[in-house]
Amino acid sequence: MAEKTYFEGYEIGAVRETGGRTITETDIVVHAGHTGDFFPHHLDEEFARKGPFGRRIAHGTMLVAIGIGLTAGRVNEAAFAYGYDKVRFIRPVFIGDTIRTRVTVLEKVIDAKNPRRGRVTERCEILNQRSEIVVLVDQILMVERRPDAQ
């Protein structure tokens, strides 16, 4: 679903939460093949069994991609992703865990170089089924200002 939310429409502290998605063995195998990252922590059960977690864990790059992907059910046509500040891999995610993303508007500043737009930082906390934060991504959106707002 497309919509248009201007910089002025972002309210600091506003929170929304996506639906959930269960991380499957398929996701891990597909991600390895998609990225070429075949590290044994993700793909070798014998190796992983002897490691600190006792089993295979999901790739960090996958958790960022799926966790951010979960927020993509809603397209803001007035915004584009500028980058991330602070990505932290906090807890491992295992096959069978179910993740969802809680998005909080963290801060907003008018762009110094171009006052017709602003940067909005959204904290994306990727949570597991026990509501523990597994990955944290501070995503920076570049958002158009309302035409009459400048």
Choose between 112 and 148: whose C-beta lies nearer to its own copies: 112
Strands 98-110 and 117-127: antiparallel
Strands 75-76 and 79-89: unpaired
- Give me the least distance between CB of 89 and its own copies, in Å please: 6
Residue 137's nearest CA partner among 126, 129, 148, 147 is 126
Choose between 43 and 145: whose C-beta lies nearer to its own copies: 43
Question: For binding to its own copies (CB under 8 A), which residues are involved?
Answer: 1-2, 19-22, 24-27, 29-40, 43-47, 56, 59-62, 64-66, 68-70, 72-75, 81-89, 96, 98, 129
By the 8 A CB rule, do 56 and 43 touch? yes
CA angle 64, 19, 94 (to 5 degrees): 50
- Give me the least distance between CB of 115 and its own copies, in Å please: 20
Choose between 132 and 148: whose C-beta lies nearer to its own copies: 132
